[in-house]
A = this chain, B = another copy of it.
Amino acid sequence: MKFDEFYMQLALNEAWKYQGLTYPNPAVGAVLVEEGKLLSVAAHQKAGTSHAEVLVLIAAYEAKSGQKVGFDPKNAQMSHDFLLKLPPNFFAQCTIYVTLEPCSHQGKTPSCASLISRLQLQRTVIATRDPIKGHDGGIEMLENVTFGVLREKAERLLGPFKIWQKRAFVLFKVAQTSNGRIGGGYLSSKASLHHVHQLREVCDTLVIGGNTVREDRPTLDCRFTRGKAPDVKIYSRKENFDREIPLFKVEGRDVEITDDLSFLERPSFVLVEGGEGMLREMQKQIDWLLFYQTPKLSTNALSYNIDMNLEFLHTESMDVDMMIWSRQIGY
C-alpha cells in the first residue's frame, strides 16, 4: 500500500464534505498519523473557524490523551493557545497530511505553518501549494516536508477557490431522479435540502430563472439551517412579477430583476437554481454542477434536455440521496 496516498485521500474525502461551505476560504482536509497509526481526520468547515490543521491536531490530542478539550475546537484562538501549551514532544512522532500548504499568514492566531513548526511534528505531507501570493510560503517554514502527494486531486478540490479569487464561481444546482427527471414535488432527502440551504446561506448571490419564480413561487430561504436568506437575482427581461411570491417577502434580502450578467465578473460565489431554460441561458457561465440524485426512477416529464460535457469530481452520500460534484468541460 502507498500509505502517503492513502492518508492524503482520507484528508481529501473529508475536505469534500465542506466543499463550497468554507467560502471564501478553500476546502482543506487534514489527517494525523503517529508511528503509522491513524489518530484523527478533520476538515476546515467554515470561514472564521479553525483551519483543518488545528482541528486535526486537537482531535489527535483527544485520541492520544483520551480526554476531550474543554472548549469548542472550531475556536481558532483557544485551539492555538491550547496546542502551544502541550509538552514539547507531544506530537514528535506524528506526521500531518494536509491537502493544501499550511498558511504562512499570521493573523489573529499564529499561522498553521508556524504552529506545525513549533509543535515539532516529525513530517508534513502536503498535496499542493496555496495559490494565493502572501498566503503561500508555508512550506519554506517547515522541515521534513513531503510535497505533491495526490496533487492533481487536491487541485480539483481547490477549483472553486481558485476561480472566486478572480471572478464569480458559478455553481448550478440540479435535484433529479436517477433517470434525470426533475420537478413533481420535493425530490430530495432532508440531508440534501439541508445542504442546499447551507450553500444558499454561504453564497453571495442566488440566481434564479424568471419562469421558476412565476411557476414555483418559491421562498428560497434557509429555513432548514435557520440562516440568513441569500440575496436573489431573478434572471429575466421582464419586471412583471407578482410581489406576493414568497421570495420577495423574506426579511433582510435584496431582490433584483435583471438580465445583465456582468456581476459575474466580480470575485464571488454564485449559486444558480432553475430549470432547463436557466441552464441553457447560463451554460457559458456555469463552472460546476452539483447533482442531488434521488434513488428512484420517475415518469415525470421534465428533465434537463441539453448537451453538456462534465467531469465527475466527487460523490457523497446525503442520507438516501447521492450528491455528485461535477465540472463543466469543453466550454
Residues on A lying within 8 angstroms of B by beta carbon are 1, 3, 6, 35-41, 59, 63, 176-181, 291, 295-299, 303-312, 315, 317, 320-322, 324, 326
Contact = CB atoms under 8 A, between A and B. Distances in A.
19 contacts: A1-B38, A1-B41, A1-B63, A3-B38, A36-B36, A178-B291, A179-B305, A179-B306, A180-B180, A180-B181, A296-B308, A296-B309, A296-B310, A297-B307, A298-B307, A299-B307, A312-B320, A312-B322, A315-B315
Contacts of A312: 295, 317, 320-322
A158 to B, nearest CB: 19
Query: What DSSP secondary structure best describes chain A's contact surface?
Result: strand
Contacts of A310: 178, 295-297
A152 to B, nearest CB: 14
Contact of A311 (B307, B309, B315, B320): B320
Nearest to A62: B1
Give the number of times this chain occurs in the complex, counting copies. Answer: 2
B38 A35 contact: no
A93 B39 CA distance: 18
A287 to B, nearest CB: 15
Contacts of A181: 180
A296 B291 contact: no
Contact of A308 (B180, B297, B308): B297
Contacts of A177: 180
Contacts of A36: 36-38
A-B pairs, top 7 by smallest CB distance, nearest first, are A180-B180, A36-B37, A179-B180, A295-B310, A297-B308, A295-B312, A315-B315
Given A38-B1, A324-B322, A296 B307 contact: yes
B297 A306 contact: yes
Contacts of A324: 178, 322
Given A299-B306, A315-B315, 19 more contacts: A1-B40, A1-B59, A1-B63, A38-B38, A178-B310, A178-B326, A179-B180, A179-B304, A179-B305, A295-B311, A295-B312, A295-B326, A296-B308, A297-B304, A297-B307, A297-B310, A299-B305, A312-B317, A315-B322
A31 B59 CA distance: 24
Contacts of A40: 1
A305 B40 CA distance: 46
Most B CB atoms within 10 A — which of A297, A304, A306, A312? A297
A132 B282 CA distance: 56
Nearest to A7: B38
Contacts of A41: 1
Kindly name the residue among A38, A178, A306, A321 whose own CB sees the greatest number of chain B CB atoms within 10 A: A178
